Amino acid sequence: MRYRVLGGTGIEVSTYCLGTMMFGAVGNADHQDSVRIIHAALDQGINFVDTADMYSAGESEEIVGKALRDPHRRDETVLATKVYFPVGGEGPNRGGGSRRWITRAVENSLKRLGTEWIDLYQVHRPDHRTDVEETLDVLTDLVAQGKIRAFGCSTFPAEQIVEAHAVAERRGLRRFRSEQPPYSLLARGVESSVLPVAQRYGMGVLTWSPLASGFLTGKYRKGRDVDMTSGRAALQPQRFDPSLPLTQAKLDAVEEFAALAEEIGCTLPELAIAFVTAHPAVTSVILGPRTMEQLEGLLKGASLGLTDEVLDRIDEIVPPGTNVYPPDGAWRPAALTDPSLRRRPTGERAAAD
């Protein structure tokens, strides 16, 4: 296992980070089995574990807490979690980047994780309702209190990362030390601005969805029937419906990548993960196994390096900075998702007419 420094924090983390989204009700509901998988990853040299308060409504954090109950394991593990989405009920103030919510959420995460500190606390998505100064201010206080060691952002667009750094400098606040964007062979959009901006500000980068929601596992291939009644396909059919042009575009690219992987003597998932770790901005790539078998398969490619020739071939299949599909679960600006933010009130429109 290789290790890299996380931005300017001085913290060394493994180039593979164990993601735990699939531990809990949405994936592997067997707590003991999930703990075994976490221990196996740690025993293989992974020292970086990423979770979030909203994964299975807090259950993932509880599982991670059980796995790190031994003080030595906790001491040797760089533990990351996230805040933003509502957890534990409904209400107008149960989520976001406000001081009110973050102050409450961090205490809940510490309790579920069974720890006194979080190494990397990440804001899961931008919050257009909260001034970023408010968010940075409370996170700065949490560092001073010793509850978190560093903080970062997740799935932030480049312009909001720049704004956050400018506010931090102007107001004398601590700044985001990492960014967690979606990045894969099929989703390279972050190469155009997010990754260069992260490099410019000396931020660590831990990427999610390296297997493109399963399309780079080899399970979904052209000409094969897709079971739309189970698994991910049943939960989000729009991602996997073979009749959709977007799905066909993904499958076309997968065929070319599968052929390339076979040519260089590796599996498709190994190629996918090696590609992400090859980018100089990337510190660590998040692996999200549900089973021990999946973990073992992903770890087989830990030593794989890609030549310039192979990387050039990849660029020919999916050009740098382009997305074959919009990364699933990625952030979209409120100005696009909330019509009221781009339409004047009816009365004003009528008066203008």
Question: What type of residue is 241?
Answer: D
| Cβ–Cβ < 8 Å for 190, 257 | no
Structure tokens at 313: 């071939």
Give the three-class secondary structure for 221.
Answer: coil
Question: What type of residue is 300?
Answer: K
Work out the number of other CB atoms within 10 angstroms of the CB of residue 341: 11
Q: How far apart are CA 32 and CA 17, in angstroms?
A: 20
38: left (phi over 0), alpha (psi -120 to 50) or beta: alpha
Return all residues near 231 (Cβ < 8 A) that are at least 6 apart: none
84 a catalytic residue:
no
**Helix (H) and strand (E) counts in the chain:** 15, 10
Please pick, among 3, 16, 55, 201, the residue that the annotation labels catalytic. Answer: 55
Q: How far apart are CA 282 and CA 261, in angstroms?
A: 21
Catalytic residues: 55
